[in-house]
Amino acid sequence: SQSLDLRLPTPGCYADPVRAGMDADAVFDGMTEHLFFTLGKLATSASLRDLYMALSFAVRDRLMSRYLTSQETIRARPQKTVAYLSAEFLIGPQLNNNLLNLGIKKEAEEALKRFGIESLNEILEVEEEPGLGNGGLGRLAACYMESLASLQVPAVGYGIRYEFGIFNQLIRDGWQVEVTDKWLKGGWPWELPQPDEACLVGFGGQTESYTDDNGNYRSRWIPSEHAIGVPHDVPVLGYRVNSCDRLRLWRADATESFDFYAFNIGDYYGAVEEKVASETLSKVLYPNDGTDEGRRLRLKQQHFFVSCSLQDMLRSLEKRSIAVEEFPNHWTVQLNDTHPAIAVAELMRLLIDQHRLDWDKAWEITNRSVAYTNHTLLPEALEKWDLSLFKNLLPRHLELIYEINRRFLQQVRLKYPGNDLILRKLSIIDEEGGKAIRMAHLATIGAHHVNGVAALHSDLIKRQLLPEFAQLWPEKFTNVTNGVTPRRWVALANPELSKLLDKEIGPNWITNMDLLLELEKKENDSNFLDLFASAKLSGKRKLAGYIHRQTGVLVDPSSLFDVQVKRIHQYKRQHLNALQVIAQYLRIKNGITKNIAPRTVIFGGKAAPGYFMAKLMIRFINGIADVVNADPDMDGLLRVVFLPDYNVKLGEQVYPATDLSEQISTAGKEASGTGNMKFAMNGALTIGTLDGANVEIRDRVGAENFFLFGKTESEIMELRDQGYSPNSFIAESNELQETLKLIEVGHFSNGDSELFRPIINILTGNDPFFVMADFDDYLRAQDEVSKAWKKSKKWNRMALLNTARSGFFSSDRSIREYCQSIWKVKPLPVEISCEK
Ligand code: TH1
């Protein structure tokens, strides 16, 4: 073994300096080697894509010593690791982020020059982003992984390697068209498949009872089918640290043994079918953001990745000969919404059926390990599984859930004797209508902490969503306000602003966003305000170019860029914004232009393919855009743009270019929002309701630097309880009447008065999201915006104060809070001994 050791790198030094040097020469050599040996290309005939691949492999090589040393450090040091379980990780493009966090952007640019590439952007352009998430929930998971690594906290993100992520969106004749997202075509250089760490997962079949060797009654599960989960690992490097955590995404494979059996009995096609069925498991992401479809394949996906992940955690203990009873000291398992909530039952099953623990011990371990984050109060988003479907797919889990529920309700009975109503309200089983499993109840009972994602939201969880649970376990409920990573959303997305910040306050803001407060001193410094504004203008010029290339619309970078980018949903009220645009259009048509600021109103976002109203809202916005942009009366005053295919990459262009951030959801409906934070950091002012994290953004940046409008959550509730009638609000507003009239006569649909009828009907019918109730106040706030825009120095000061006071919304702060109050984990610095 002595001679073998000599051939291995020394511990803490896995870097081969020849292959992984950090200077431009080494990066160039790495690229040349990868072109030749990995890609089979000559440098002379390499395409942009070849160069992207070569640079990515070269950068990946340079992560490897940090990645392997980090994994080895975590393995060797008995310290708690975070397991972040999420059905979505919307990680975005990887190359630029890894260059930034490694600190070799300049070197890469230098190396590219030798291939005749003048700008790194040319290469970044060709990167496919993995769309493994719908929106905020998936992006939050990605920001949290980046912050965990940057804070040097040992962590694994566990999820699914969907073969097809969120669809690509085309706009045809104003309608959304969905196109499959083939992100893996041509190979994705950032993943490391680990087939030797595959896990087996069962589905279906039945349970049977038996007596074990000690004479105890037990249940065992005989699944009728299996799938294999193959981990595909993505290194997640922290910012300028050695810590490199792991995102472990499971791909579903068919099981070989079943194939063999079928071959022997001659059922070749049957075998292939089962293989196809199990590979379907990780085939596609469900494109619903905040609506639950209750589909069997979705539950299968959830159990698949949760089971693989828990087996992986248990195996990590076994490998180190750590007793399974120690699980809570080594793993803290965070459930990102209820999508992985089956973990409560699956961990119990693994502990009881496979590791032979008794119920009480298994429950103690489960409860000490698991915590649950709720991300929505919308009833249509709360996961409920039809009991017969659940039993059919996971019969053993159903038995365990019944027992969890029985013991829990026993406890409740002791506390509230004779109160059957409260039992019905708290039960995991929903008995109303067809019986169903309420996943939020399972998660809440199984977890040691339940948190919401903004102060208001966490409060509403206690008051409205789970009041009986909050009364039973007040200490369990807490808040961790969301955050976003300043590395991607400022340092990488906004190089102009970053340069200015570096110059003014030094580079440490990137890891300590509270330092931005020093900018407050500059609020009256005209020189500095001009520099701040020109950084913004440069972002707007770039976006204007992109808009022209994508949509053919010419927009004026000196106009107010008024932006709403997020999933299209009625509760987010893109139609409220659209109505406001029509009102402005009418004013201009009527020659009332005195108080109007020149605006470019920009929309972007995808609608769930089955969500008719959301898709119609996209058509509606495009109908308005067509009319407005073709009307010479609007020149220099109003432009409307719908940006197709909004995703992480496009977000990186949009946030730095925005003056006004639209955060206009019905109060009480948006749990937090995270786009709102990205805008504020980049110096946009917010027009918004008192909803989600808007409340805290306004508190931090100052009410005078925020355009507030709309009914509060309690006013909305009151209105609803009184029997809300939108028509009473319409009756009081001439502008609203004129606006609705113009839509009804088909002004934005080539004279077709039917096309947008469903929008009119819903707004004048029961208007579930109180658009009519908030319209006038919204218009008033928009007038305030226009007025403020015209005093450009004042605007720039307000914008600067938004950036200066946005530090709280760094995901570093959120992650520190999770670490201290929920996970009880500490950083574990990683040492690399052989690098300079
Ligand atoms: C979002 C919330 O709507 C948003 O307010 C919040 O900022 C974000 O999560 C992060 O906390 C949600 N996304 C989903 C997606 C699905 C189901 C529920 C939610 S809640 C699929």
ipTM attached to this prediction: 0.99
- Is the pLDDT confidence value at 15 over 60? no
Asked whether the CA dihedral 815, 820, 824, 827 is positive or negative, the reply is positive
Per DSSP, what are the bridge partners of residue 649?
Answer: none
pLDDT tens readout for residues 679-693: 999 999 999 999 999
The C-alpha angle with vertex 545 and arms to 534 and 115, in degrees rounded to 5, equals 95
Residue 433 lies inside a defined structural domain of this protein = yes
Question: For residue 796, what is the domain's CATH number?
Answer: 3.40.50.2000
CA atoms within 13 A on the CB side of 619: 21
- Which amino acid does the sequence have at 146? E
Residue 547 lies inside a defined structural domain of this protein = no
SS3 assignment, position 566: coil
Do 241 and 275 share a domain, yes or no?
A: yes
| 369-378 core/surface letters (b: 16 or more CB in 10 A; e: else) | bbbbbbbbbb
Over residues 83-95, mean pLDDT: 98
Residue 529 lies inside a defined structural domain of this protein = no
pLDDT tens readout for residues 630-640: 999 999 999 99
Helix/strand number for the chain, H first, E second? 35, 23
Distance between CA atoms of residues 335 and 350, nearest Å: 18
Distance between CA atoms of residues 462 and 478, nearest Å: 9
Residue 488 lies inside a defined structural domain of this protein = no
- Counting ligand 1 atoms within 8 A of each CB, the residue from 372, 375, 567 with the most, and so the one to mutate, is 375
SS3 assignment, position 511: coil
Residues with CB under 6 A from ligand 1: 134-137, 140, 288-290, 337, 375-376, 381, 453, 482, 670-674, 692
Over residues 455-463, mean pLDDT: 98
Ligand 1 center–CA 376 separation, angstroms: 6
Q: Which of 41, 349, 396, 566 is catalytic?
A: 566
> Residue whose CA is closest, atom 19 of ligand 1?
290
Atom of ligand 1 nearest to the CA of 140: 10
SS3 assignment, position 309: helix
Do 660 and 794 share a domain, yes or no?
A: yes
Do 272 and 190 share a domain, yes or no?
A: yes
Do 799 and 731 share a domain, yes or no?
A: yes
Gyration radius of the chain's alpha carbons = 28
- Which amino acid does the sequence have at 629? N
Tokens, residue 312: 């992986």
Last residue of a domain, one of 466, 481, 496: 481
**Annotation marks residue 375 as catalytic:** yes
- Is the pLDDT confidence value at 713 over 60? yes
Q: What is the pLDDT of residue 179?
A: 97
Ligand 1 center–CA 395 separation, angstroms: 29
Ligand 1 center–CA 372 separation, angstroms: 14
Q: Which of 41, 139, 246, 567 is catalytic?
A: 567
Do 153 and 119 share a domain, yes or no?
A: no
**Annotation marks residue 567 as catalytic:** yes
SS3 assignment, position 256: helix
Where residue 722 falls among pLDDT bands split at 50, 70, 90? very high
Atom of ligand 1 nearest to the CA of 288: 21
Cβ 245 vs Cβ 155: under 8 Å: yes
Do 117 and 158 share a domain, yes or no?
A: no
Residue 486 lies inside a defined structural domain of this protein = no
Ligand 1 center–CA 492 separation, angstroms: 24
Residue 684 lies inside a defined structural domain of this protein = yes
Distances (CA, A) of 654 to 200, 798, 804: 43, 19, 20
Return the DSSP state at 609.
Answer: T
**Annotation marks residue 669 as catalytic:** no
Q: What is the pLDDT of residue 277?
A: 72
Do 340 and 367 share a domain, yes or no?
A: yes
**Annotation marks residue 572 as catalytic:** yes
Residue 830 lies inside a defined structural domain of this protein = no
Residues 6+ apart with CB under 8 A from 203: 223, 224, 225, 226, 227, 300, 303, 393, 394
Do 99 and 179 share a domain, yes or no?
A: no
Atom of ligand 1 nearest to the CA of 135: 13
Where residue 490 falls among pLDDT bands split at 50, 70, 90? very high
Q: What is the pLDDT of residue 577?
A: 98
Q: Which of 375, 396, 488, 599 is catalytic?
A: 375
Q: What is the pLDDT of residue 185?
A: 96
Distance between CA atoms of residues 268 and 271, nearest Å: 5
Where residue 1 falls among pLDDT bands split at 50, 70, 90? very low
Distance between CA atoms of residues 267 and 169, nearest Å: 41
Instruction: Return mean pLDDT, the chain.
Output: 95
Between the CA atoms of 91, 673, 651 and 131, what dihedral angle is there, to the nearest 10 degrees? 30
Distance between CA atoms of residues 300 and 224, nearest Å: 13
Do 341 and 454 share a domain, yes or no?
A: yes
Do 273 and 402 share a domain, yes or no?
A: yes
> Residue whose CA is closest, atom 14 of ligand 1?
290
Atom of ligand 1 nearest to the CA of 692: 5
Ligand 1 center–CA 254 separation, angstroms: 32
Pick from 522, 438, 348, 453: nearest CA to 136:
453
Q: What is the pLDDT of residue 261?
A: 57
Do 198 and 104 share a domain, yes or no?
A: no
Return the DSSP state at 810.
Answer: B
Q: Which of 41, 139, 462, 572 is catalytic?
A: 572
355 φ/ψ angles, rounded to the nearest 5 degrees: -100, 0
Over residues 702-727, mean pLDDT: 98
pTM greater than the 0.80 cutoff: yes
pLDDT tens readout for residues 775-800: 999 999 999 999 999 999 999 999 99
- Which amino acid does the sequence have at 149? A
| 781-796 core/surface letters (b: 16 or more CB in 10 A; e: else) | bbeebbebbeeeeebb
Ligand 1 center–CA 436 separation, angstroms: 22
- Is the pLDDT confidence value at 6 over 80? no
- Is the pLDDT confidence value at 177 over 60? yes
Do 619 and 720 share a domain, yes or no?
A: yes
Over residues 254-272, mean pLDDT: 66
Domain that holds residue 121: 1-76+94-127
User: Into how many domains does the chain fold?
Assistant: 3
Cβ 439 vs Cβ 411: under 8 Å: no
Distances (CA, A) of 462 to 413, 477, 714, 728, 813: 21, 7, 15, 33, 23
Atom of ligand 1 nearest to the CA of 375: 20
Last residue of a domain, one of 442, 458, 481: 481
Cβ 378 vs Cβ 670: under 8 Å: no
Atom of ligand 1 nearest to the CA of 87: 21
**Annotation marks residue 232 as catalytic:** no
Q: From the CB of residue 435, how many other CB atoms can be counted at a distance below 10 Å?
A: 15
Cβ 672 vs Cβ 652: under 8 Å: no
- Is the pLDDT confidence value at 262 over 80? no
Pick from 639, 649, 645, 648: nearest CA to 596:
639
**Annotation marks residue 551 as catalytic:** no
Ligand 1 center–CA 504 separation, angstroms: 36
Ligand 1 center–CA 289 separation, angstroms: 7
- Is the pLDDT confidence value at 333 over 70? yes
Q: Which of 81, 481, 485, 674 is catalytic?
A: 674
Residue 44 lies inside a defined structural domain of this protein = yes
Q: What is the pLDDT of residue 608?
A: 97
